[in-house]
Amino acid sequence: MANYRDYLLEVISGKKKGLLVFVIKLFLYLLSFIYRSLVYIRKLFYKLQFFKVAELEPKVISVGNLTTGGTGKTPVVSKLAILLQNLDLKPAIISRGYQAETKDNNPVVISDGKEIKVEVEVAGDELYMLANRLSVPIIKGKNRRRAGQKAVEEFGVQAVILDDGLQQLQIKKDLEIIVIDAMLPFGYNHLLPRGLLREPLAGLQRADLVLLNRSKFVSEERIKEIKKLIIFHSRKDLPIFKTFSRPDYLTKLNNRAEKLAIDRLSGKKVVALSGIGNPAAFRKTLEEVGAIVIEEMCYADHHFYTTADMLDIASKAQLAKADYIITTEKDGVKISPELQIELAKFDLNIYQLIIDLTIFDEDQFSKRVKTILRGGNGEEIN
């Protein structure tokens, strides 16, 4: 499956050439045209009010993206939750999650803000990671309206953060934040499946704020080009903030409470282990702190690790004579103590890299959020 996915990515990115690739691209063009039509019809139905838009009592903040794959929106969700708490608002995070369906199709409480209520297999990796980080209610459900209502009824929240909410049209939003990956901003400039765009770039017109993530990994000239295209498809006064994921500290998976300094990776040979949407960004982050990536093991996004995976990882780490195996926080929650024991047999430990989101002009960003999210008396939240 991974080889099939990688091959398609090489086709749509233009890396593959030849007659067969040409035929595949023509077929993908046809499918993307059908997809575009469905996206347009769905939006039209909402515009004509064939589909109803629900209004929730709390403020609704949407964090989403235009493309599939990892743009880095999960750290944005985490940052916003903390910001709202600092504004004395009680937030909750609601998300469709990965493999969100449950037997009764009802919303599931991942965390009540005090303790995690389900296993990682039920929560999904990203929501479980957020539940570990934050003291806010987190609810998962295919129907975000029902999930939002559950957050209000059970926890009395004052603000709802809608994770992956850009294409979610069934709820009225007070603030729409679009996260764009500066390394691959527009999904090869084609809609799915010819490219990675989930909707046309005209979707930028719905944005109140744009966060240009991983901006440190591209040149300032490229940043200017991306901003110019964003403004072309939206409006001149759209606020655009540069962000990047900053390495914060390391922890051993078998001792997550102990924080280890990042500088211990400087000059060390590491195996980069990830199952995320953008593994290239993870590798660049490791190299940025001085690590020497001698082996890169990339699994599919949301991959759940097995004993066979651990044996493969251990074998390659030993063969490469690696000093460390480093994985992401998102992957770390899926490597159980039992799997860690398998690695320990080879005298190996996995460390996870904990990152924090840095927003350039963060004060201005916070001010923009507060200005848009006004209190009931119409005055800015202090």
* Other beta carbons within 10 Å of 181: 28
Q: Could you tell me the residue ranges of all domains in the chain?
A: 2-47, 59-244+359-372, 246-357
Share of the chain above pLDDT 70, in %: 95
Measure the CA–CA gap between 233 and 221, rounded to whole angstroms. Answer: 19
Say whether 246-357 and 59-244+359-372 share the same fold.
yes
Amino acid, res. 196: L
pLDDT for 381 beyond 60: no
Express each pLDDT in 52-62 by its tens digit: 999 999 999 99
What average pLDDT does range 287-296 have in this prediction? 96
pLDDT value, residue 289 = 95
Q: What is the pLDDT of residue 6?
A: 81
**β-sheet bridge partners, residue 358:** 244
For residues 338-360, give the mean pLDDT.
91
CATH 1.10.3470 fits 246-357, yes or no: no
In CATH, the architecture of 59-244+359-372 is 3-Layer(aba) Sandwich (3.40)
Please tell me the predicted confidence (pLDDT) of residue 70.
82
User: Which pLDDT does position 5 carry in this prediction?
Assistant: 79
What pLDDT, on the 0 to 100 scale, is given for residue 257? 81
Mean pLDDT over residues 280-306, rounded?
94
pLDDT at 261: 96
Q: Is the pLDDT of residue 79 over 60?
A: yes
Mean pLDDT of 250-259: 89
Q: What does the pLDDT read at residue 349?
A: 82
Please check the confidence at residue 379 and state whether its pLDDT lies above 70: no
| Percent of the chain whose predicted confidence (pLDDT) is above 90 | 82
What average pLDDT is seen over the chain? 92
DSSP state, residue 266: T
The pLDDT tens digits for 298-331 are: 998 989 999 999 999 999 999 999 999 999 999 9
Contacts with 336 (C-beta within 8 Å, 6 or more apart), sequence order:
none
Distance of CA 298 to CAs 7, 227, 271, 312, 322, Å?
14, 30, 10, 12, 16
10-34 tens-digit pLDDT = 999 999 999 999 999 999 999 999 9
Tokens of 69: 């794959």
Peptide bond just before 185 cis, omega within 30 deg: no
> pLDDT digits over 91-128, tens only?
999 999 876 455 567 899 999 999 999 999 999 999 99
Structure confidence by residue, pLDDT tens digits, 218-242 = 999 999 999 999 999 999 999 999 9
Give the model's pLDDT for residue 111: 98
Residues 6+ apart with CB under 8 A from 295: 271, 272, 316, 317, 320, 322
278 pLDDT exceeds 70?
Answer: yes
> Residue 256 in 3-state DSSP?
strand
Residue 2 pLDDT: 58
Per-residue pLDDT, 214: 94
pLDDT at 1 over 70: no
CA dist., res. 168 & res. 244, Å (int): 25
Is 166 within 8 Å of 212 (Cβ atoms)? no
Dist. CA 189–CA 257, nearest whole Å? 43
Scanning the chain, the segments in alpha helix (DSSP H) are 2-13, 19-47, 73-86, 120-123, 125-133, 144-155, 220-233, 279-288, 307-319, 329-332, 337-344, 362-372
Q: Which of 82-91, 96-105, 171-180, 200-209 has the lowest mean pLDDT?
A: 96-105
Q: How far apart are CA 273 and CA 282, in angstroms?
A: 9
Say whether pLDDT at 371 is over 90: no
